[in-house]
Amino acid sequence: MAKKKAKEIELDLSSNWDYAPSMESTGHIQLKKKYDLFIGGKFVKPKSGVYFDTINPATEEVLAQVAEANEADVDAAVKAARKAYDTVWSKLSGKERGKYIYRIARLIQERAREFSVIESLDGGKTIRESRDIDIPLAAAHFFYYAGWADKLDYAFPNRNPQSIGVAGQITPWNFPMLMIAWKIAPALATGNTVVLKPAETTSLTALKLAELFQDAGLPDGVVNIVTGYGQTGSHIVNHPDVDKIAFTGSTGVGKLIMKSIANTNKKSTMELGGKAANIIMEDAPLDQAVEGVINGIFFNQGHVCCAGSRLFIQESVYDIVMRKLKDRMQALVVGNPLDKNTDIGAINSKKQLDTIKKYIKIGKEEGAEIYQPNCTLPKKGYWIPPTLFTNVAQSSTIVKEEIFGPVLAIQTFRTVDEVISKANNTPYGLSAGVWSDKGSKVFNLTSQMRAGVVWGNTYNKFDPTSPFGGYKESGHGREGGLQGLEAYLKFNA
Ligand code: NAP
Ligand code: MG
């Protein structure tokens, strides 16, 4: 990729140089040509008879075929989950359930490299992220919730916690394996059984996980995986024998699901969209703040619900922050997700690429000023260079709407009150970031932000012990921590 050096250190801007490629090997991974549905502990052919291709968005090559579950397939999966709940899983002691979940966690660790490579192949995210973030965190969630399985009475003293039954779980494509771990681990720890539908573009790690459940000896039917499109998800949502819906995805689909279950006894947790504010105060450590902004929006191609997609810079440091930001963007490597040097991988799908391009076009049409560094994008696959917009207003479409791509909209502010009102002026409320040298300023801002997670002098940090979730149109309920357990329990006392 072409590089330009930072202006302030006066290097030759015209020279081009490349890192030597450092490719992650794919020789060790095992993928079947065709994947069936995972129901009752076995891979079974879909009654629909239909399969669809899952592709590598960096090359557009077909990786495998995946079954599309219809209503009858979903019904079979729910029946298997109910049977496993009634006959096995709800009858096991917490200690025994915990042993299975620990075993799953250990097996994920053992096969971490294979899962990481498959995650990057199927979804387009960089190997650095899937290897260092997605897969280790997924294992950490199973370890964490395994530890709670036999301690529910201590977690909720005097409340007599009871499992709910069959949980229907629907996950998105941005953190495929991690979102599955966030959902399956607490459901199993609390004694529920599961019917899960992964996102259509990233089903492979879910199906590899099904193989791992078989290896772990998890009793048949405790977790069932039905692949397919949105329609498959709606069959889960509308199935009368599903007791709880755990959904992560867009606010639009979240609203549809809430309407569908409004007249039922189904419990729900909704982890929806976001439009996070990242705020740089004039006294912030600016290099760290710039690095945090880069991480906040360009990490995982901006396919992050909590991406810091709105940046607010205090006016007095605007020029210097912009210079540092542009210089840093110039050094980002866009390209093959399996190359360990890559910072920004492939956009997950053609559909998402078109959405991001549409927003970039709208940004320009509405008069915003665009900056993209010079970089050569691969010929095949789905790519967007890191992009920032200045000269935007609170009313600009790219400031108001979730883009879900590597696109940053930048505004300035003078006072704390001004930035709080601007940052909170959004229908979303998932996350935010604040950068300042003074703890008192950080706490003042964080306490006034209407966001489920607010990071201080860091960004995109996750931990299984910490609850995650949103306000307003970013959803309800929390995943992670004790709150994540509570979402899978009913209380009789
Ligand atoms: P999406 O289109 O809402 O899809 C999410 C999941 O729901 C997918 O499995 C999808 O299947 C399925 N689905 C689609 N229509 C459905 C319907 N009518 N009934 C039931 N299920 C249905 O979202 P996405 O584009 O995959 O993911 C991006 C969104 O997720 C962003 O808005 C992002 O902010 C949000 N997100 C939020 C969090 C959080 O924790 N708050 C975390 C990650 C992502 P298909 O894949 O087949 O369409
Ligand atoms: Mg794919």
pLDDT digits (tens, 9 = 90+) for 169-180: 999 999 999 999
Beta strands in 218-290 (DSSP E): 223-225, 244-248, 267-271, 277-280
Residue 358, number of CB atoms within 10 A of its CB:
12
Q: Which ligand approaches the C-alpha of residue 203 most closely?
A: 2
> H/E element holding 310?
strand 310-314
d(CA 431, CA 453): 5
**With contact defined as beta carbons under 8 Å apart, do 167 and 314 qualify?**
no
**Are residues 335 and 295 part of one domain?**
yes
CB-based contact 313:410 (threshold 8 Å): yes
For 457-491, the pLDDT digits (tens) are 999 999 999 999 999 999 999 999 999 999 999 99
Query: Domain containing 170 — which CATH number?
Result: 3.40.605.10
Atom number of ligand 1 nearest to Cα 468: 40
- What are the Cα distances from residue 437, in Å, to 289, 304, 308, 440, 489? 11, 27, 19, 9, 41
pLDDT of residue 39: 98
- At residue 5 the predicted structure's pLDDT band, cuts being 50, 70 and 90, is very low
pLDDT greater than 60 at residue 11 = no
Tokens for 332, please give them. Answer: 């980002």
- Let me know whether 177 and 110 are in one domain: yes
Site to probe by mutation for ligand 1, drawn from 238, 250, 431 as the one with most ligand atoms within 8 Å of Cβ, is 250
Q: Whose CA is nearest to atom 21 of ligand 1?
A: 233
- Would the CB of 120 count as within 6 Å of ligand 1? no
Amino acid type, 473: E
Q: Is the pLDDT of residue 8 over 60?
A: no
Task: Calculate what percentage of the chain has a pLDDT beyond 70.
Answer: 96
Atom of ligand 1 nearest to the CA of 257: 19
How much of the chain exceeds pLDDT 90, in percent? 95
Chain segment 152-175, per-residue pLDDT in tens:
999 999 999 999 999 999 999 999
Cβ neighbourhood burial of 20 (10 Å; 0-12, 13-18, 19+): exposed
What are the angstrom distances between the C-alpha of 366 and each of 363, 397, 409? 5, 8, 13
Quick one: pLDDT at residue 492? 80
Structural tokens at position 72: 């009858």
Q: Is residue 107 part of a domain?
A: yes
**Confidence (pLDDT) at 269:** 97
pLDDT exceeds 50 at position 99: yes
Give the strand order in the sheet containing 369-371: 369-371, 387-390, 407-413, 310-314, 277-280, 431-435, 453-456
491 sits in which H/E element: strand 489-491
Quote the CA–CA distance of 103 and 313 in Å, as a whole number.
Answer: 47
Q: Which ligand is nearest to the CA of 348?
A: 2
For residue 168, the one-letter residue type is: G
Residues 82 and 231 both lie in one domain: yes
Q: Is the pLDDT of residue 379 over 70?
A: yes
- Residues 298 and 177 grouped into a single domain: no
**Average pLDDT over every residue of 248-274:** 97
Q: Which residues lie below 8 Å from residue 252, measured CB to CB, with a gap of 6+?
A: none
- Detail the DSSP E strand segments found in 121-243: 161-163, 166-170, 193-197, 223-225
**Which residue from 248, 407, 428 has its CB within 8 A of the most atoms of ligand 1, so it is best to mutate?**
248
Phi, psi for 408 (deg, rounded to 5):
-115, 135
pLDDT value, residue 493: 64
State how far the Cα of 348 lies from the Cα of 204, in Å rounded to an integer: 14
Kindly state if the Cβ of 273 falls inside 6 Å of ligand 1.
yes
In a domain, 202, yes or no: yes
- Identify whether the C-beta of residue 486 lies closer than 8 Å to the C-beta of residue 156: yes
The alpha carbon of 104 is separated from its chain's Cα centroid by a whole number of angstroms, namely 21
Q: Which ligand is in closest contact with the Cα of 453?
A: 1
Placement of tokens 């999966």 in the chain: 77
Residue (of 285, 112, 476) closest to 293 by Cα position: 285
Atom 13 (ligand 1): residue with closest C-alpha?
A: 230
- Greater confidence, 10 or 343? 343
Ligand 1 atom at minimum distance from 254 CA: 3
Q: Which residues are the active-site residues? A: 271, 305
**Residues 301, 223 share a domain:** no
Ligand 1 and 199: CB distance under 6 A: yes
As given in the structure block, the two tokens for residue 50 are 């239909």
Do 204 and 185 belong to one domain?
Answer: yes
Q: Is the pLDDT assigned to residue 341 strictly greater than 50?
A: yes
Residues 317 and 232 in one domain: no
pTM for this prediction: 0.95
- For 324, residues 6+ apart whose C-beta sits below 8 A from its C-beta are 286, 287, 290
> What CATH number did the domain enclosing 420 receive?
3.40.309.10
For ligand 2, the distance from its centroid to the CA atom of residue 411, given in whole angstroms, is: 35
Decide: 204 in ligand 1 pocket, CB within 6 A: no
Nearest to 216 by CA among 82, 77, 106: 106
Ligand closest to 204 (CA) is 2
336 domain-assigned: yes
* 349 DSSP assignment: -
Q: Is residue 70 a part of any domain in this protein?
A: yes
Instruction: State the average pLDDT over residues 182-204.
Output: 98
54 lines ligand 1 (CB under 6 A): no
Structural domain includes residue 211: yes
pLDDT at 19: 83
Total length of the chain: 493
Question: 193 and 96, same structural domain?
Answer: yes
Q: What values do phi and psi take at 434, rounded to 5? A: -130, 135
Residues 44-68, mean pLDDT to the nearest whole number: 98
- What is residue 293's predicted lDDT score, i.e. its pLDDT? 98
| C-alpha to C-alpha distance for 180 and 270, rounded to whole angstroms | 14
- The CA distance from 280 to 295, in Å, is 14
User: Is 308 among the domain residues?
Assistant: yes
Same domain, 91 and 158: yes
Q: Is 347 in the pocket of ligand 1 (CB under 6 A)?
A: no
User: Do residues 267 and 281 share a domain?
Assistant: no
Cβ contacts of 414 within 8 Å, gap of 6 or more: 314, 315
pLDDT of residue 248: 98
Look at residue 76 and tell me if it is in a domain: yes
- Pairing, β 431-435 against β 475-476: unpaired
Q: Let me know whether 72 and 201 are in one domain.
A: yes
* Domain housing 64: 34-271+472-491
233 in contact with ligand 1, CB cutoff 6 A = yes
At 16, is the pLDDT very low, low, confident or very high (cuts 50, 70, 90)?
A: low
Domain count of the fold of the chain = 2
Q: Judge whether 13 lies within some domain.
A: no
Q: Is the per-residue pLDDT at 13 higher than 70?
A: no
* Cβ–ligand 1 contact at 335 (below 6 Å): no
Q: What is the pLDDT of residue 2?
A: 46
Same-domain pairing of 215 and 116:
yes
